[in-house]
Structure 1
Amino acid sequence: MNRTRWIQLALGVIAMMAVSSPQYVWTLFTKPLLGTVGGTLADLQVTFSILIVLQTWLSPAQGALVEKFGPRLLVMAGCALSGLSWVLTAYATSLPAVYVAYGVLGGIGTGIVYIGIVGQMVKWFPDKRGFAVGMAAAGYGFGAIFLNFPISSTLSTAGLQHTLIVFGLIQGVVGVAAAAFLKPAPEHGTADRPEPAVGSMRTRRDYNSREMLKTPVFWLMFVMMTMMSTGGLMVISQFATFSRSFGIDEKVLVLGFAALPLALTIDRITNGLTRPIFGFISDRIGREKTMAIAFIGEGLAIALLVMVREDPLLYVLMSGVVFFGWGEIFSLFPSTLTDTFGETHATKNYGFLYMAQGVGSVLGGPIAALIFASTGSWMPVFGIIIAMDVLTGLLALFALAPMRRRLIDASPAAGAAKPAFAG
């Protein structure tokens, strides 16, 4: 059991890495795609919103399918769709074609993989839930690390079409191969199943999705994740654009490297590291305390990024700190949700919460671009994001923690009760 679950975690990380680039490398494609299909930046950024909206808003149905049929087949299909989306985008000659190929197919494919892997990890690791989900989510953050420079270089030397075809095929094949060996997590009552770690408040019973959606706790978490997703996705989708407006582009060198791809590579590293690190911390000191530290710290990091924008070296370094303060939402929120509503329906339940990222993609993608277009400055956008980050950190401490405790204390155990753990 112990060896098997670590193998499953490794396979899940590989599958997540294989489908991470559609989101995290998108910013490198915006300029060449505009030259190919035309339109404005705001028009093209609709693709990114479609990708994230479908990746997230279909996840409840995808989670239900994973729970019914198991992770192997569906995750394999998701990886194949993700790779195919890049190959088809290579032949797109219009914005609608990009919307369908990159946005629709990519969103469906990456969504199946993401929700399936996260849902499995919260079940395989009841004793290390924050860390395990963080590692799986880190795969999604780390995946683009290995591709930022190769993709950037290939775009310069071989062009957009060749880049999309080659790297689409690579990602699809690797993801399908890893997913082929996935297994469902053991159910409650398994003799060698590890006990949950004492580190945070845990439910006495399992809630199905209908029951969960009736609770104010879920909707508070939904609003909090929406606010954090908005800021992070704005930075991801617009990073190259607002960096160039600050004078930080491929022609600027930092430590001998082109500043923009260097920043994107560092960002992928910190965006991946933050997920298991803060997940591990939350297993020890509690989810809400960890949220407050991370979210308020993210607001401060964005403020500092804006302040040092005229210094390329400091700007590149601070961009890494910004991503370190955002990526942890993908370990903290699913762990907190499962702690609160149980793991029997965890995959489908997280699918509903994961929809918050879809809302954030609309606010952080085209709407942020429209605010910039109307004001001629990125400063109003950064100001809104900083305020939301700080507010979300405060809500974790002063609203989410007491509400979760009241729900858990008031919920009777169903059937053979699992113990409630208080942190």
Structure 2
Amino acid sequence: MSANRMVKEGRGVNRWVVLAAAGTLNALVGSIYVWSIISVALTSEHGWAAPEVAFAYSFYIVCECFAGFFAGYLQTRANPRLLMMGGGLCLATGWFLAGFADQVFSLYLTFSLLGGVGSGFIYNVSVATATAWFPDKRGLANGVCVGCLGLSPILFAPLGTFLIGSFGPAMTFHMLGAGFAVAAVVAASFIRKAPEQVAEAEADTPKAANSLTMNQMLRQPSAWFMWLLFAVCASAGMMVTGHAAGIGAELAGLTAAQSAAQVGILALANFSGRLVFGMLSDRLGRYAVLVLCMVGTAATMALFLGRADSFIAVTVAFCVIGATFGGIMSVMPALTADLFGIEHFGQNYAFMFSGYTCASVIGPMLGAGVLAATGSYLAAFPAAGALTCVGIVFAAAIAASAKRMRRPQAEKARS
């Protein structure tokens, strides 16, 4: 049986087509990048207070996180095609109905609740599906799948700007929601569940001897070290992503047009990092690539970013941070599958991903807090670099804990 073509219920399925469909659906999760543009228009049009509008984004992220746990639970009981189609239609419905919101509470129910739940389903199931189809290339598959999310700002940022400028926020919600529905139905039709025996190459794939449930996983110290690792090592990337325009303006006096260009550069670097570091982790090992990404992030944040005083220097710094941040995002799901198995991956990675949710608060809040206290971002850079160095310690702890976890399994297999 070919490694690229698997047979399920008598039908040949090309796993690269499944991966492309999962990546396309995951790109819809990147629609959230339009929010920063729409939120300004909503504040202006409806007169809603900025904190009220900002809460819509925070509630969206919370709903996305909790939906991931539920999606992980359903993956062992339902067809991933139906789950991803349902998640895509939920996301689309949330966006479409948000165009009718004339009160901020209605925005929370539509955009935040429905949109966040749909986004959580898509992300969790798409990553789990890609991981299951590529046991021999988990890093590459996750790099492609989550890389599509990282690349999506290149499409959604200018599209959102054009639509809002031409039609206003309400019609923008309607048009994007309708487009998401069509894309979700078409892409989800190509999703298939991976066979239990995926490929003969799987025998050579390093993985946990037993597939652990989430409750079993949480009894392992390595699971908690991984959660902490995700929370600290993604914080620097989230800080730069959330404050890219302000950082560029302070350090190098970038104009609005130059700052907009940096959004696209960050997205390309993020996509490249997810793809390249994901592939490297298949060859060099997950821990080696994670440490490489964290060292690159910490060194750039602590030693270089604060001295970047030109467009080129800021671009170089953002490229390194974007690429290493992307690498972390592609290696973490692959490492989760390696250590705890694929059968319950959906729920297990939902737990790990909640660490990223914390990072999405820690990083931007660190930048905002330092700016408010000192009037500058400069002190936030070495702090974020130091936080990333803590992640290196957690990576070593994960490796040691995982080795102890495998020892009784290996002894049991020999007996």
Tell me how far apart the structure 2 counterparts of residues 42 and 234 of structure 1 sit (CA, whole Å): 19
* Identical residues among aligned pairs (%): 27
- AA aligned to 2:231 is T
Q: 1:383 and 2:388 equivalent?
A: no
Counterparts in 2 of 1:43 and 1:18: CA distance versus 1, 3 Å: same
Q: 1:15 and 2:13 equivalent?
A: no
Tell me how far apart the structure 1 counterparts of residues 40 and 79 of structure 2 sit (CA, whole Å): 40
Which residue of structure 2 aligns with residue 299 of structure 1?
Answer: 298
Tell me how far apart the structure 1 counterparts of residues 115 and 320 of structure 2 sit (CA, whole Å): 28
User: Offset at 1:129?
Assistant: 1.0
Pairwise CA RMSD of aligned residues? 2.6
Tell me how far apart the structure 1 counterparts of residues 169 and 314 of structure 2 sit (CA, whole Å): 28
- AA aligned to 1:126 is P
Which residue of structure 1 aligns with residue 58 of structure 2?
Answer: 49
Which residue of structure 2 aligns with residue 325 of structure 1?
Answer: 324
Consecutive unaligned residues of structure 1, counting only runs of 5 or more, are 251-257
TM-score (norm 1): 0.86
**Is the Cα contact below 8 Å between 1:57 and 1:352 reproduced in 2?**
no
**Is the Cα contact below 8 Å between 1:16 and 1:143 reproduced in 2?**
no
Tell me how far apart the structure 2 counterparts of residues 363 and 47 of structure 1 sit (CA, whole Å): 18
Residue of 220, 233, 236 corresponding to 1:231:
236
**Is the Cα contact below 8 Å between 1:75 and 1:113 reproduced in 2?**
yes
Counterparts in 2 of 1:193 and 1:111: CA distance versus 1, 3 Å: farther
Tell me how far apart the structure 2 counterparts of residues 230 and 172 of structure 1 sit (CA, whole Å): 32
Bigger RCO of structures 1 and 2 (CA < 8 A, at least 6 apart)? 1
Which residue of structure 2 aligns with residue 253 of structure 1?
Answer: none
User: Offset at 1:109?
Assistant: 0.8
Q: 1:248 and 2:237 equivalent?
A: no
**Is the Cα contact below 8 Å between 1:27 and 1:237 reproduced in 2?**
no
Write out aligned runs for 1:212-291 (5 A).
212-243=217-248, 247-250=253-256, 258-291=257-290
- AA aligned to 1:346 is F
Higher share in helix: 2
Which residue of structure 1 aligns with residue 202 of structure 2?
Answer: 195
User: Offset at 1:162?
Assistant: 3.2
SS in 2 for 1:277: helix
Which residue of structure 2 aligns with residue 5 of structure 1?
Answer: 15
Q: 1:74 and 2:83 equivalent?
A: yes
Counterparts in 2 of 1:413 and 1:184: CA distance versus 1, 3 Å: farther
CA offsets per residue over residues 183-235 of structure 1, 9 Å max, x none? 111114x6x4432555xx53222211111011110000000101123333333
Counterparts in 2 of 1:86 and 1:117: CA distance versus 1, 3 Å: same
Consecutive unaligned residues of structure 2, counting only runs of 5 or more, are 6-13
CA offsets per residue over residues 233-255 of structure 1, 9 Å max, x none? 333334345545564342xxxxx
CA offsets per residue over residues 248-305 of structure 1, 9 Å max, x none? 342xxxxxxx212211112111111211211111111111110011112122333433
Which residue of structure 2 aligns with residue 35 of structure 1?
Answer: 44
TM-score (norm 2): 0.87
User: Offset at 1:367?
Assistant: 6.5
CA offsets per residue over residues 54-83 of structure 1, 9 Å max, x none? 212331221111221121111111112222
CA offsets per residue over residues 1-21 of structure 1, 9 Å max, x none? 623211111111111112212
**Is the Cα contact below 8 Å between 2:296 and 2:320 reproduced in 1?**
no
Tell me how far apart the structure 1 counterparts of residues 345 and 386 of structure 2 sit (CA, whole Å): 31
Tell me how far apart the structure 1 counterparts of residues 267 and 68 of structure 2 sit (CA, whole Å): 24
* Farther-moved stretch of structure 1 (232-241 vs 64-73): 232-241
Tell me how far apart the structure 2 counterparts of residues 99 and 240 of structure 1 sit (CA, whole Å): 27
Counterparts in 2 of 1:50 and 1:196: CA distance versus 1, 3 Å: farther
User: Offset at 1:124?
Assistant: 0.8
- Number of aligned residues: 402
Which residue of structure 2 aligns with residue 161 of structure 1?
Answer: 170
Counterparts in 2 of 1:370 and 1:327: CA distance versus 1, 3 Å: same
